[in-house]
Structure formats: structure tokens, C-alpha cells
């Protein structure tokens, strides 16, 4: 597809999203009011939207308000895009809020990006204003924001995106960068933002699977990671890649509306990459270490992702690089098998539901002795024992194409000394030897559980519904192999061959070693806390590039990524000195 044709298709989908948001009445928030502004709304309605979002029904002057990223960014994006059409009273409310309210940056990467993005736009727009919340002149506020945004871009270009590949939070990065791309006055920063947008869209494209985002995610969870298509990123997946039916509810989520309004269009080849499954292939990524703010005894190591994109399924895993029990995000998904199907019927995943005040307070602001009570108030599911998401410091995994070994070594004192394995119940599972097999039509899957387990169900209407295998063993494990149906003679032949290839468990759990031969002739050898070997060779995760996929060259540490396809080349060069500290 040429760029002109692709741009026209993106524009048409953008208009479809905006029209549906208005028709559904989903344009009455500060984020989504852009869709309303296209229809010459009553001035009083616009003023009410601004006041309700920023003042939150409080009857007080702005200097008594507390605002954060979810107020700072959307009010400035609305003002910058519609300054000629906004009622003067709405503009005055935004000015009063941005200069007089107490503004907070929040406590995660996307929070800081949104806050600094909005602050930069305000400082550029009102260079002579008195920003009471800061006490600094606008030029200093702009300089701090520019330094932080530029630093985040440079780190992503050299080390990989920090809050990586999140179905829920990627949109917050995208919307912030797209808003800055549209409205920032600093041309040099705008150029870097355009390149960053290319990387963020490429992240989506490389693991796009029929409307879903395959592979590991820094943040997902929230009792939704058994859904097929998930998260607030769905509107931009539809906008940039198309190819699926329009879903008015999923594709008009409010935070995406400012992004849909943006003039930015990615290279057309990204959409072709997203849909090309002509050959099964591996996508490897390096992501920046997950920074631990407090009490970690060592630094986190880079995250390494491995995703096998086949025609009918995608299997992805992650080397998390965690620095011990002050481990990664409480809503992280480290691995899963995904395919195209209804919610809860197209995912296999397992998790050790690790919970600890150390891990919570490593990222969040509260003190360890009461942080769990605070989390339980707002998001109790982050500590539930049947959880299927959240990083565990005791999990190790090794994947090669469609085969994976996941092993656990959970301490005796852990409050949840077990592993939860989710299997969809809409398929017939047949046991042969120690394996469970399912014929999924276009592909076949085999699963073996290591450790004593109980077979039960997990059901929360509207959120999760399936089989739950509770592996009641501190040294639990899961072996899985998946193959395309047309690559074997029959399902029965796959079952016989897989059952005949006994995994070598002679070293488990005593030495932490498990070996598995695959039906395709490969050999996986994983030692928990030791070497990862495939076909006798130690896997060198340190050798991973920033991106490694068909048509992508991105040596780690260079700040340069080249995408090529059918003679077309997109060179994304951030102009970063690799020796810069």
C-alpha cells in the first residue's frame, strides 16, 4: 500500500471513531470533548465539561485544588487545539487551573510524561504567567519539562521503552506524544517526538495479532488478561492497522480521542508489518530496566522479549531482569499463548500471585507498613490469590519458537506458595500420559504441569471465565508446545509424537533443571537460576538488539532503527551520541 492510500484510510477511520464517539454520547469528558467540538456545541456545555473535570464538583478557588496528569494534559490539549472555538470562560478556567492549582506529576512513567507534556504546553502558551504551584518562571518550567521528555525519548531510543508494550498504558504515552507533536513550539523536540511515535507504533505492529497485542506486557492485568482484545490502546490499533470490524465501544475510549485528532500518520509499511503472517517468525525486543525506586539491593537488568508470531497463534515470553523481591509491576504479564477467538477462549497463561509490601512500595508512594491496605481500598484484585498477572521474582522461563518451559522456585515462607494456570474451557482437553492436549482447529496445543495440582474453575462475570489449575507446589512448572495443524499429519499424530517425547525431569527440582525435546526436533534446557540452552547453545540475552524482526535492524545502544520492506526504507535516527553518559 502506498502512503497516500494508507493516509486516506487512516483519515477515514479517524472520522469513523470521532463520529461514533459523538453519536454514543461518549464525548462529554475533557479527553473526548474534541469529538464534541466538531459539532459546534453550546458554550455552556463546554464550560461545564471543563469545570466538572478540573474542579470535580468542588466549590472553591483554583488554589485549593489538587491536579495531576489526568487533568494537566487533557485540558491543555483541548485548549491548544480549539483555542479559537473555546468559550472564553472555558479558556479562563483552564488558565486558572494550570497557574493556580497544586499540580502533581504522579508516580509512574506515563504520569510524568503526561504531566510534563501539559506543563510544557502551558509554559509555552503563557510565558509571562505566574505559576503559583511551581514558583519558577515559565522558561524554567519549560526547560525542566523539555529535559525530562527528551531524556525519556533518548533512553527509549538507546535502551528500549521503559513502560513497555502495555495494553492499558501505551495509549497514555501515545496521546501525550501525539499532543506534543501537534502543539509544541520547540521544533527540535517535535522532530524527536515524531521519531518516538514511529517506535511506539512499531512496537504495536511487530506483535499485532488480529486486533490483539501478543507477547509480554509491562502492565496489563486488572482481571482482563484472558480477554482477546484488551486495553485502551485498541482505538489506535484500529486507527493505524484497520483490518478488523469497527467496535464503537472499544474504539471510542476517551483518552484516545485527542490522539485520533492528530495529524501524525505512521509509515504505511507498519500496517503491512502488522498483518503479514505469510511466514512464521520471531520478534525479539530489548526494553529498559524497570527502575526500582526504593530498597532494592541491586539494579534491575534490561528486559528481553521473545515472541513467536505464527499464522494461527502467537506465543510470547519475557526475561524480566528483576532485582529480587522488590520486583516488577503488580499488573505485569510475563508470558502467554494467544490466538483469535472470544474472550477467555483464546489465551493460556500462568502466574505465581506474588504479593509483598516491599514490591508495592518499590514503586508507589506509601510506606510498607500500610501500603497493602491502601492498595486493597482501590484495587483489591492486585492482591487476590487467584490472580493471573503480576511479576514474580521466583519465575524463570525459556522459549524457542512454539515451545516454552516455565519454572518456579517459591520460598516456603511465601504467602501464596502455588501457581495459577488458566486454560480456556470452550475446548476439549484430552489427557495422554502427563500431557493435556487440545485441538484448536487451526493449531494444536500440548500442556504438561509439573507438581501436584487441583483442577477447578475461575469465574467473575464479565471479567474472567475458564479452567483454573492450581499447582500446589513451590517448585511448580509448566511445559507447553503449540504447532500449526497443517504442519503435522493429524491431531492424533501430534499427540502420539508429543507424548512419546518425555521431558527430562531427572534434575527437577533438586538441581533446578528441566529439559524438553520438541516435536520439531529442537531441544530446550532450562536451569532455574542457571543457564538457558537451546539445541545445546547457551542463549545470550545480552546480544539482543533493540528490535530484531524481519525487515528491522536496530543495534542496541545506537539510537538508530531501520525498517525496510519491498524496497521501501524508513530510517529512524535520533542523532544520539552512543558515548553520552
pLDDT tens for each residue of 552-564: 999 999 999 999 9
Whether the pLDDT of residue 22 is over 70: the answer is yes
408 strand-pairing partners = 395
As a whole number, mean pLDDT of residues 227-241 equals 96
- In the chain, the percentage of residues whose pLDDT exceeds 90 is 85
Which range is most confident: 220-234, 283-297, 426-440? 426-440
Contact (CB, 8 A) for 355 and 415: yes
Alpha-carbon span 498 to 37, nearest angstrom = 59
Please name the helix (run of DSSP H) or strand (run of DSSP E) that holds residue 500, with its range, or none. helix 491-500
Mean pLDDT of the residues in the chain: 94
pLDDT of residue 243: 96
pLDDT of residue 373: 79
Per-residue pLDDT reduced to its tens digit, 135-154 = 999 999 999 999 999 999 99
Per-residue pLDDT reduced to its tens digit, 24-66 = 999 999 999 999 999 999 999 999 999 999 999 899 999 999 9
Alpha-carbon span 165 to 215, nearest angstrom = 9
Three-class DSSP category at 34:
helix
Lowest mean pLDDT among 229-238, 255-264, 572-581: 572-581
Q: 196 is written with which cell numbers?
A: 518516538
Report the largest interatomic distance among the alpha carbons of the chain, rounded to a whole angstrom. Answer: 76
As a whole number, mean pLDDT of residues 195-214 equals 97
Which range is most confident: 293-307, 363-377, 397-411? 397-411
Whether the pLDDT of residue 325 is over 90: the answer is no
Whether the pLDDT of residue 294 is over 70: the answer is no
Please name the helix (run of DSSP H) or strand (run of DSSP E) that holds residue 183, with its range, or none. helix 170-183
Long-range (24+ apart) CB contacts under 8 A made by 132-138 are: 132/63, 132/99, 132/100, 133/99, 133/100, 133/101, 133/102, 133/103, 134/103
Phi-psi label, residue 512: left if phi above 0, alpha if psi -120 to 50, beta otherwise: left
Q: Find, among 166, 170, 146, 182, the residue nearest to 34 by Cα.
A: 182
Per-residue pLDDT reduced to its tens digit, 416-426 = 999 999 999 99
Phi-psi label, residue 483: left if phi above 0, alpha if psi -120 to 50, beta otherwise: beta
* DSSP secondary structure letters along 257-321: HHHHH------HHHHHHHH--SS-EEEEEEE------SS-SSPPPPEEEEEEE-SS-EEEEEE--
Alpha-carbon span 288 to 305, nearest angstrom = 11
Per-residue pLDDT reduced to its tens digit, 493-531 = 999 999 999 999 999 999 999 999 999 999 999 999 999
pLDDT of residue 78: 98
- In the chain, the percentage of residues whose pLDDT exceeds 70 is 97
Alpha-carbon span 529 to 411, nearest angstrom = 14
Whether the pLDDT of residue 360 is over 80: the answer is no
Alpha-carbon span 483 to 283, nearest angstrom = 17
Torsion of CA 439, 351, 292, 74, to 10 degrees: 60
Three-class DSSP category at 439:
strand
Q: How confident is the model at residue 362 (pLDDT cuts 50, 70, 90)?
A: low
Contact (CB, 8 A) for 67 and 103: yes
Alpha-carbon span 536 to 310, nearest angstrom = 24
Whether the pLDDT of residue 351 is over 80: the answer is yes
DSSP 488: S
Using alpha carbons, list the distances in angstroms from residue 271 to 172, 276, 326. 21, 9, 38
Handedness of CA 492, 493, 496, 501 (dihedral sign): negative
Handedness of CA 336, 339, 343, 348 (dihedral sign): negative
Handedness of CA 224, 221, 314, 509 (dihedral sign): negative
* DSSP secondary structure letters along 208-264: EETTEE-S-BSS--TT-TTSSS-STTHHHHHHHH--S---TTGGG-GGGHHHHH---
Q: Give 430's Cβ-side CA count (13 Å radius).
A: 14
More confident call, 171 vs 300: 171
As a whole number, mean pLDDT of residues 336-353 equals 96
Q: What phi and psi, each to the nearest 5 degrees, are found at residue 88? A: -55, -35
Three-class DSSP category at 115:
helix
pLDDT of residue 189: 98
pLDDT of residue 292: 63
Contact (CB, 8 A) for 313 and 337: yes
Contact (CB, 8 A) for 123 and 98: no
pLDDT of residue 37: 98
Alpha-carbon span 187 to 181, nearest angstrom = 9
As a whole number, mean pLDDT of residues 14-20 equals 98
Q: 362 is written with which cell numbers?
A: 518499590
Torsion of CA 228, 229, 230, 235, to 10 degrees: 180
pLDDT of residue 221: 65
- pTM of the prediction? 0.96
Alpha-carbon span 236 to 547, nearest angstrom = 21
* DSSP secondary structure letters along 518-541: -TTS-EEEEETTS-EEETTEEP-G
Per-residue pLDDT reduced to its tens digit, 363-394 = 666 777 777 877 777 778 888 899 999 889 99
More confident call, 294 vs 42: 42
Three-class DSSP category at 176:
helix
Q: How confident is the model at residue 291 (pLDDT cuts 50, 70, 90)?
A: low
Per-residue pLDDT reduced to its tens digit, 107-131 = 888 999 999 999 999 999 999 999 9
Whether the pLDDT of residue 447 is over 90: the answer is yes
Three-class DSSP category at 370:
helix
Amino acid at each position: 500500500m502506498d502512503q497516500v492510500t494508507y493516509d486516506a484510510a487512516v483519515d477515514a477511520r479517524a472520522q469513523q471513531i470521532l463520529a461514533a464517539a459523538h453519536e454514543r454520547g461518549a464525548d462529554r469528558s475533557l479527553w473526548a470533548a474534541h469529538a464534541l467540538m466538531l459539532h459546534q456545541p453550546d458554550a455552556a456545555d463546554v464550560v461545564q465539561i471543563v469545570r466538572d473535570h478540573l474542579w470535580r464538583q468542588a466549590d472553591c478557588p483554583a488554589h485549593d485544588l489538587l491536579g495531576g496528569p489526568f487533568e494537566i494534559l487533557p485540558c491543555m490539549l483541548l485548549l491548544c487545539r480549539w483555542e479559537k472555538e473555546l468559550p472564553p470562560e472555558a479558556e479562563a478556567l483552564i488558565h486558572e487551573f494550570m497557574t493556580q492549582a497544586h499540580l502533581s506529576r504522579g508516580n509512574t512513567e506515563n504520569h510524568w510524561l503526561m504531566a510534563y507534556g501539559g506543563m510544557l504546553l502551558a509554559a509555552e502558551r503563557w510565558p509571562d504567567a505566574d505559576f503559583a504551584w511551581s514558583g519558577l518562571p515559565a522558561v524554567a518550567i519549560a526547560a525542566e519539562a523539555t529535559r525530562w521528555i527528551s531524556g525519556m525519548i533518548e533512553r527509549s531510543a538507546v535502551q528500549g521503552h521503559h513502560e513497555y508494550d502495555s495494553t492499558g498504558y501505551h495509549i497514555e504515552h501515545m496521546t501525550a506524544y501525539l499532543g506534543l507533536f501537534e502543539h509544541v513550539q520547540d521544533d527540535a523536540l517535535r522532530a524527536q517526538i515524531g521519531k518516538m511515535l514511529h517506535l511506539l507504533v512499531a512496537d504495536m505492529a511487530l506483535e499485532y495479532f488480529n486486533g490483539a497485542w501478543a507477547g509480554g506486557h509491562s502492565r496489563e492485568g486488572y482481571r482482563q488478561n484472558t480477554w482477546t482484545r484488551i486495553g485502551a490502546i485498541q482505538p489506535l490499533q484500529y486507527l493505524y492497522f484497520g483490518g478488523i470490524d469497527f467496535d464503537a465501544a472499544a474504539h471510542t475510549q476517551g483518552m484516545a480521542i485527542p490522539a485520533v485528532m492528530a495529524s501524525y500518520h505512521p509509515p504505511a509499511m507498519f500496517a503491512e508489518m502488522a498483518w503479514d503472517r505469510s511466514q512464521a517468525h520471531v520478534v525479539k525486543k530489548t526494553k529498559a530496566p524497570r527502575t526500582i525506586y526504593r530498597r532494592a539491593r541491586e539494579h534491575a537488568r534490561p528486559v528481553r522479549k521473545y515472541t513467536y508470531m505464527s499464522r494461527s497463534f502467537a506465543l510470547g515470553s519475557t526475561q524480566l531482569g528483576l532485582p529480587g523481591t522488590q520486583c516488577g509491576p503488580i499488573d505485569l504479564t510475563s508470558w502467554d499463548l494467544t490466538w483469535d477467538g472470544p474472550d477467555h477462549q483464546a489465551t493460556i497463561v500462568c502466574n505465581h500471585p506474588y504479593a509483598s509490601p516491599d514490591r508495592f512500595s518499590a514503586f508507589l508512594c506509601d510506606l510498607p507498613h500500610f501500603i497493602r491496605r491502601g492498595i486493597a481500598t482501590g484495587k483489591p484484585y492486585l492482591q487476590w490469590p487467584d490472580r493471573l498477572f503480576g511479576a514474580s521474582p521466583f519465575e524463570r522461563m525459556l522459549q524457542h519458537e512454539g515451545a516454552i518451559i516455565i519454572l518456579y522456585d517459591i520460598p516456603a515462607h511465601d504467602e501464596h506458595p502455588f501457581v495459577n494456570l488458566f486454560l480456556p474451557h470452550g475446548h476439549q482437553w484430552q489427557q495422554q500420559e502427563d500431557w493435556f492436549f487440545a485441538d484448536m482447529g487451526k493449531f494444536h496445543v500440548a500442556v504438561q504441569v509439573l507438581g501436584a495440582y487441583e483442577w477447578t474453575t475461575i469465574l467473575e462475570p464479565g471479567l474472567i471465565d475458564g479452567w483454573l489449575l492450581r499447582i500446589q507446589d513451590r517448585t511448580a512448572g509448566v511445559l507447553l508446545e503449540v504447532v500449526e495443524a497443517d504442519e503435522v499429519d493429524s491431531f492424533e499424530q501430534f499427540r502420539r509424537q508429543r507424548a512419546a517425547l518425555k521431558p527430562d525431569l531427572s534434575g527437577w527440582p533438586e538441581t533446578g533443571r528441566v529439559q524438553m525435546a520438541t516435536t520439531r526436533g529442537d531441544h530446550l534446557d532450562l536451569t532455574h537460576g542457571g543457564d538457558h540452552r537451546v539445541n545445546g547453545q547457551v542463549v545470550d540475552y545480552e546480544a539482543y538488539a533493540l528490535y530484531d524482526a524481519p525487515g528491522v535492524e536496530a543495534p542496541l545502544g545506537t539510537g538508530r532503527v531501520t525498517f525496510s520492506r519491498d524496497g521501501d526504507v524508513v530510517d529512524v535516527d535520533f542523532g544520539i551520541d552512543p558515548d553520552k553518559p
